[in-house]
């Protein structure tokens, strides 16, 4: 062995330190677990107090049947769940709720996205237009419903139509203020997503010869797809929970043609047991729809780290 071979040659690179490997068992010690539960305790307490306990009471109320208009209640077990959830009233309310969702969600999502794309520009005074497009969020559901109630009033409205009295148009009349509000919500959320898209990506697409439509469909929408999925889930949940629009504009009429599930729950003021069953049914319908949205749409969502 020569001298040069036996001597260690100094290197300019810093030594690589290997991170200690943790075994799968005993990954966290008792102190870390206890600290994590301590931080989660306030949130768990809120969930237990305002969701789990009321929901357990709601499940229990569903087993009691009203007698003599709510004068007393008899425990009937799960029979009331079977009768109500398989009855025509629940199916009609579910169908009307689905109609409301189909009217409001696609229109609000598409129009809000197009407005956000149009307003996502570096132009003088563009902030004014952005404030105008997002201003629908400043009004409550009740205020927007009253505005549209008078706009389309057959006696004193600007558009003198009697949609609320027509079975085929009553749900559309109730959906108009929700579309108006969803437009502002979609605009704000999509605009925030567009501002996170790197300018270099759009400039490279222009150099490659992509026109405005191809940039929108091939570049912009895939990059903001997580935002769109979140927005779609939120709008669907809001649609199934709609009540004020129905109560102010159509009162559930004509002949129950616009009674959503929430409105039918409201009508059970003298039958808490039946109202509880309808509420539980609405909860599980919303839960299942939301689960399938995540299960199906998540496969089509583009995440930046993929």
What are 77-127's pLDDT values in tens digits?
889 999 999 999 999 999 999 999 999 999 999 999 999 988 888 778 788
Q: Do residues 181 and 144 make contact, with C-beta atoms less than 8 angstroms apart?
A: yes
Q: Is the pLDDT of residue 8 over 80?
A: no
For 140, phi then psi, to 5°, come to -80, 170
Q: Is the pLDDT of residue 305 over 80?
A: no
The pLDDT of 243-249, averaged and rounded, is 92
DSSP string, 125-154: THHHHHHHHTGGGGS-HHHHHHHHHHHT-T
Q: What angle do CA 197, 111, 298 make, to 5 degrees?
A: 55
Mean pLDDT, the chain, rounded, equals 84
Q: Is the pLDDT of residue 3 over 70?
A: no
Question: Would you state the pLDDT for residue 231?
Answer: 93
Higher pLDDT residue, 84 or 199? 84
Tell me the pLDDT band of 70, cut-offs 50, 70 and 90: low
Question: Would you state the pLDDT for residue 2?
Answer: 45
Express each pLDDT in 158-189 by its tens digit: 888 888 888 889 999 999 999 999 999 999 99
Superfamily name with CATH number, domain 81-300: MetI-like (1.10.3720.10)
Tell me the pLDDT band of 268, cut-offs 50, 70 and 90: confident
Q: Do residues 260 and 90 make contact, with C-beta atoms less than 8 angstroms apart?
A: no
Question: Would you state the pLDDT for residue 7?
Answer: 44
Instruction: Report cis status (omega within 30 of 0) of the bond before 194.
Output: no
Tell me the pTM.
Answer: 0.81
Rounded Cα–Cα distance for residues 108 and 242 (Å): 15
Higher pLDDT residue, 73 or 236? 236
Domain-wise residue ranges, the chain: 81-300
- Could you say which DSSP state residue 121 is in? S
Q: Do residues 276 and 58 make contact, with C-beta atoms less than 8 angstroms apart?
A: yes
Q: Do residues 214 and 79 make contact, with C-beta atoms less than 8 angstroms apart?
A: no
């Amino acid at each position: 062995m020569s001298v040069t071979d036996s001597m260690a040659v100094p290197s300019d690179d810093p030594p690589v330190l290997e991170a200690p490997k943790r075994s799968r068992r005993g990954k966290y010690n008792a102190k870390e677990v206890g600290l994590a539960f301590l931080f989660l305790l306030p949130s768990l307490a809120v969930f237990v107090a305002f969701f789990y306990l009321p929901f357990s009471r709601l499940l229990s109320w569903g087993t009691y049947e009203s007698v003599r208009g709510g004068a007393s209640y008899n425990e009937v077990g799960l029979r009331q769940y079977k009768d109500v959830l398989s009855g025509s009233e629940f199916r009609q309310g579910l169908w009307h709720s689905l109609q409301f969702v189909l009217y409001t969600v696609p229109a609000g999502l598409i129009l809000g996205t197009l407005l956000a794309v149009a307003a996502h520009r570096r132009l003088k005074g563009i902030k004014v237009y952005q404030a105008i497009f997002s201003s629908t969020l400043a009004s409550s559901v009740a205020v927007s419903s009253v505005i549209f109630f008078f706009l389309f009033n057959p006696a004193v409205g600007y558009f003198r139509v009697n949609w609320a009295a027509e079975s085929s148009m009553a749900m559309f009349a109730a959906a108009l203020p929700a579309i108006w509000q969803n437009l502002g919500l979609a605009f704000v959320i999509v605009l925030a997503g567009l501002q996170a898209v790197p300018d270099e990506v759009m400039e490279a697409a222009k150099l490659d010869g992509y026109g405005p439509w191809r940039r929108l469909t091939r570049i912009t929408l895939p990059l903001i797809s997580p935002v769109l999925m979140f927005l779609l889930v939120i709008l669907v949940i809001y649609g199934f929970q709609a009540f004020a629009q129905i109560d102010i504009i159509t009162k559930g009429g004509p002949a129950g043609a616009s009674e959503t599930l929430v409105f039918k729950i409201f009508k059970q003021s003298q039958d808490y047991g039946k109202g509880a069953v309808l509420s539980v049914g609405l909860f599980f319908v919303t839960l299942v729809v939301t689960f399938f949205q995540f299960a199906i749409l998540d496969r089509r969502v583009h995440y930046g780290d993929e």
